[in-house]
A and B are shown apart, each in its own frame.
Chain A
Amino acid sequence: MAVVIELEQLSKWYGEVMGLNNVTASIPSGITGLLGQNGAGKTTLLALATGQLRPSRGEIRVFGQRPWNNTALLSRIGYCPEGDSFWPGLSGRKFVRMLARLSGMTDRQACRAADWAIEQVGMTEHKGRRIAEYSRGMRQRTKIAQALVHDPELLILDEPLSGTDPVVRAELINLFKRMAEEGKTVIVSSHVLHEVAAMTENILLIDHGQLVADGNIHEVRSLLEGRRQRIAIGTPAGRKLATLLAPKEYIISLAIQEDGGLLLHTSDPERLQQELPRILLDNDIPCSEMASPDDNIRAVFGYLTRRPE
């Protein structure tokens, strides 16, 4: 596979604070998962790749070019930031169209491109509504639409699945896979291992600004075998969902929360992730969120960096 991003002894400091320390790696075409806990340096790496920050030391090359102050290169990159920020008062369509215009399109092209991008993320029905009225998952999809709108070759997505419910999460994962099949390079950052595992086998693991591991996700996942993971599911029908999940062999324990939601322990979060959307849809169970406390990924980092859990 062709190398799209090359990092060579890349470092970034924020004054006294180290954001990224001496990272050397190559990111190939296809989907790559950038894994790390909050504050590990994922966003710093992505900001360097999109030319928002200048390296303190070392070099980063995207498509063989330095991204800093390189506006021509930016037209080949689509970036979905982690932050939940929008200009107030805009509808989803206006927001995406405005950013398409800023990508150099004419108004007519921007309208067409915005409608296409919004359709890709399944937001056509809601595109005329103000973003302020959107749910977290809808806002997340709108941010992804603005990253897609100028049809970039490289998509850089910072925690794109956070705040989405399992059904939307499955749809977005399918979308990223389709983009990769169409020849785009997709980089997805996450602190949830099984999210990334559902998309790709190729990962970079970052911890405290340093590259801990890169390569095949199975090697990392093998470290998790035998460990149970905790998953919180936000739903008003926790009891009904618990009844449906209880017979599954990968469910270790189930507990109904005070707000009606469900907290469970599973031995196979990836399988749960695959099966849960179907269970929710078939039984008409609403679900607002599926949060995965990162206990286990922290354990992996602890193991890899030889720090206690």
Chain B
Amino acid sequence: MLVYLLLALPPLVGVITVNTAPISDPMTTAQIYWGLTLLMMLTASLPLAAMLSCGPLVSNEVSDGTLVYLLTRRLSRQSVLLAKFLGAVSSLVAVAVLSQTFLFLAFVLGQYAMTGGELGAALLGGFVVVAVGTVVFAAVFNMISMIFRKPLSVGVGFLIVTEWIFLTLPVGIRRLTVGYHLRSLLNGITDSPALGELLTERAGDGLWPAGASGAVLVAIVAVALTTSAIIMMCREFTQAREEER
């Protein structure tokens, strides 16, 4: 339930802001909607939701005592982790996209039914970035949950440092955040000058080309998943069970 609320909150705030703001230009209002909702989505809701649903993938099974049913079937440890990860990410992506869709429809019906073309591109870009961001944050938080015994507190700390504090530091450091590359990706996909301006302003520097940022995000996912798999092989399935005893 908390995950759903986290994902629904940013678009809801967007709808309320746009519908109460004294702005007459449809495109400006649309950009405010997308800028607000996506920034909130990328910097707060999505990482927290990913952390809650994808973080303690295996440790939950250990503490619940159900891991033993999986470990004694004809399943390799790697396939258990992969299946759990993909399942968690799929459901998270579905919820994220649904929340965006429903609230975007509410937004369109309430304010801007006639600006379909421009908003359509932004909508598509938003969905792509939400989906990509979900996978990236899920992989990162899965790795955090593998490394640390208290994934929630460490994950929140990681978010505060990398996604919020880094954004207040000099420009080069901001490129170390996942959010920076998601913004670059969004900017490349939507190709909207006004939205690009908003995103660039938030990033504090010129955004990277979408392809380069996409490659960085893919690399982050690959490194996080590989690290998780190695740690799991070495420790999680043996030590966690042993500690449980």
Contacts and interface: CB of A to CB of B under 8 A. Distances in A.
Interface of A: 14-15, 19, 43-44, 47, 50-54, 69, 71-72, 74-75, 77, 79, 81, 83-87, 99, 102-104, 146
A101 to B, nearest CB: 9
A51 to B, nearest CB: 7
Nearest to B76: A71
B79 to A, nearest CB: 9
Given A44-B245, A79-B68, A104 B74 contact: yes
B25 interface: no
Contacts of B109: none
Given A14-B245, A19-B245, A44-B245, A77 B238 contact: no
B69 A53 contact: no
Given A19-B245, A53-B238, A53-B241, A81 B74 contact: no
B71 A51 contact: yes
A51 B68 CA distance: 10
Contacts of B241: 47, 52-53
Interface residues of B, number: 19
A108 B62 CA distance: 30
Interface string B66-94: 10111111111100000000000000000
Contact of A102 (B74, B238, B242): B74
A86 B74 contact: no
B65 interface: yes
A83 B70 contact: no
Contacts of A103: 73-74
Contacts of A84: 65
A296 B74 CA distance: 40
B242 A51 contact: no
Contacts of B70: 102
B66 A87 contact: yes
B233 to A, nearest CB: 10
Q: Per DSSP, are chain B's interface residues mostly helix, strand or loop, or mixed?
A: helix
A99 B238 contact: no
A76 to B, nearest CB: 10
A51 B80 CA distance: 15
Contacts of B65: 81, 83-85
22 contacts: A14-B242, A14-B245, A43-B245, A44-B245, A47-B241, A50-B71, A50-B72, A51-B72, A52-B237, A53-B238, A53-B241, A69-B76, A71-B75, A71-B76, A74-B73, A75-B74, A79-B72, A83-B68, A99-B69, A99-B73, A102-B73, A104-B74
B238 A54 contact: yes
Contacts of B76: 69, 71
A85 B238 contact: no
B66 A71 contact: no
**Which of B72, B74, B242, B245 has the largest count of A CB atoms less than 10 A from its CB?**
B72
B74 A85 contact: no
Given A14-B245, A53-B238, A102 B75 contact: yes
B65, B71, B74, B75, most chain A CB atoms within 10 A: B74
A81 B245 contact: no
Interface in B212-245: 237-238, 241-243, 245
A115 B66 CA distance: 22
B68 A81 contact: yes
Nearest to B79: A71
B145 to A, nearest CB: 19
Contacts of A102: 69-70, 73-75
Contact of B72 (A44, A77, A85): A77
B68 A86 contact: no
A47 B72 CA distance: 9
Contacts of A50: 71-72
Given A51-B72, A77-B72, A83-B68, 8 more contacts: A44-B245, A51-B71, A52-B68, A52-B237, A81-B69, A85-B66, A85-B68, A86-B66
Given A47-B241, A81-B65, A85-B64, A52 B72 contact: yes
B103 to A, nearest CB: 28
Contacts of B66: 85-87
Contacts of A53: 238, 241-242
Contacts of B237: 52
Contacts of B64: 85, 87
A53 B66 CA distance: 15
Contacts of B72: 50-52, 74, 77, 79, 81
A181 B227 CA distance: 48
Nearest to A74: B74
Contacts of B73: 74, 99, 102-103
A146 B69 contact: yes
A-B interface, 7 closest residue pairs, ranked by CB to CB distance from nearest: A85-B65, A83-B65, A79-B72, A102-B73, A14-B242, A75-B74, A81-B68
